[in-house]
Amino acid sequence: MTITVRAAWIEAQKRIVDSLQLEASEAKFEAQLLLQTALKVSRAWLLSHENDALQANIHAEFESLLSRRLQGEPIAYILGQREFYGLDLIVTPNTLIPRPDTETLVEVALVKIPDNTNYSILDLGTGTGAVALAIAKHRPQASIIAVDASHGALDVAKKNVSALAITNVQCLLSNWFAALEGGRFDVIVSNPPYIEQDDQHLTQGDLRFEPLSALASGADGLDDIRQIIGNCLIHLKPQGWLMLEHGYNQAELVADLMAQNGLVNIETINDFGGNDRVTIGKNPLIVSTHWD
């Protein structure tokens, strides 16, 4: 039986609501995205051709995509992309899915990186390259090194650098600072793993499909953050900034770790939902102005 474009997404919307308990508006958006992917069309085309008949082969492709979503697979992995800070990024199961909360980290970094300066930036655990690429796009004079310990994630980051034709980002395989001996930076940013290893949320929703190594970090979620903070002063220039994303309930612990390790001017910034999300601290050393 022939079905129209509109009827296909309405039926899919209902199935998504029933299976995944999403809000109707979100389910409709996902159903339309999946249908756009099957049809290889824009949203504008989809809406203007809603009464067209859906060809059998396209309907079958749509059902295949929908089946994956109904099993809980994140839509970003199904589509192979995710928008972040105005950039369309390639996303695979080798990487964490970029989320709006992480745009806070970009916003904070851009405040501290002046326009038209040759600042050196380090992005630790870059994943898709989202944070590094967003900073690079808006600070083209800056030089960004994006590192990750995962070969798979780094391949995705390199593909995004190439696809976006952003020339001031270099991708490097490194377990945090391990491959950066002697490197010093004006700003270090990171969205490291920070979920407790036995957190029940790791077995729910999208997190079930994302790489555990990019999500969990020890009993209290702070193992990687401790490692980054403990080694950051070796790699920060005088007056350089460390900026870390963390869980909504970890700001005080992260700030204390920064203070214990000698950082100053420590501050926590809220995300768009009002939750503590990014804590920053400065290297207190001052550039020497001594002349013989």
Residue 213's pLDDT band (cuts 50, 70, 90): confident
Rounded CA-CA distance 139/82 in Å is 22
Place of tokens 């696809």: 163
Residue 1's pLDDT band (cuts 50, 70, 90): low
Residue range of the domain that includes 186: 94-282
Q: Is residue 168 part of a domain?
A: yes
pLDDT, residue 201, reads 80
Instruction: Note whether 113 and 161 are same-domain residues.
Output: yes
Q: Is residue 289 part of a domain?
A: no
As a dihedral over the C-alpha atoms of residue 168, residue 173, residue 176, residue 177, rounded to 10 degrees, the angle is: -80
Q: Is residue 177 part of a domain?
A: yes
Residue 94's pLDDT band (cuts 50, 70, 90): very high
Instruction: Note whether 159 and 61 are same-domain residues.
Output: no
pLDDT, residue 291, reads 46
Instruction: Note whether 55 and 14 are same-domain residues.
Output: yes
Instruction: Note whether 252 and 152 are same-domain residues.
Output: yes
Q: Is residue 158 part of a domain?
A: yes
Instruction: Note whether 103 and 170 are same-domain residues.
Output: yes
Instruction: Note whether 113 and 223 are same-domain residues.
Output: yes
Segment 166-192, tens digit of pLDDT: 999 999 999 999 999 888 999 999 999
Instruction: Note whether 118 and 212 are same-domain residues.
Output: yes
Is 173:179 a contact under the CB 8 Å cutoff? Answer: yes
Q: Is it the case that residue 265 has pLDDT exceeding 60? A: yes
- Which residues on neighbouring strands pair with residue 173, listed in sequence order? 148
pLDDT, residue 22, reads 87
Q: Is residue 228 part of a domain?
A: yes
Instruction: Note whether 112 and 8 are same-domain residues.
Output: no
Q: Is residue 224 part of a domain?
A: yes
Pairing outcome for strands 3-4 and 53-54? antiparallel
Instruction: Note whether 187 and 274 are same-domain residues.
Output: yes
CATH code assigned at 66: 1.10.8
HEC sequence for the chain: CCEEHHHHHHHHHHHHHHHHCCCHHHHHHHHHHHHHHHHCCCHHHHHHCCCCEECHHHHHHHHHHHHHHHCCCCHHHHHCEEEECCEEEECCCCCCCCCHHHHHHHHHHHHHCCCCCCCEEEEECCCCCHHHHHHHHHCCCCEEEEEECCHHHHHHHHHHHHHHCCCCEEEEECCCCCCCCCCCEEEEEECCCCECCCCHHHHCHHHHCCCHHHCECCCCCCHHHHHHHHHHHHHEEEEEEEEEECCCCCHHHHHHHHHHCCCEEEEEEECCCCCEEEEEEECCCCCCCCCC
Instruction: Note whether 209 and 278 are same-domain residues.
Output: yes
Q: Is residue 80 part of a domain?
A: no
Q: Is residue 86 part of a domain?
A: no
Q: How high is the mean pLDDT of the chain?
A: 94
pLDDT, residue 2, reads 82
Instruction: Note whether 141 and 241 are same-domain residues.
Output: yes
CATH code assigned at 212: 3.40.50.150
Query: How far is the CA of 129 from the CAs of 22, 117, 171, 182, in angstroms?
Result: 29, 21, 8, 23
Rounded CA-CA distance 91/74 in Å is 11
Of 72, 103, 124, the last residue of a domain is: 72
| Overall domain count for the chain | 2
Instruction: Note whether 66 and 110 are same-domain residues.
Output: no
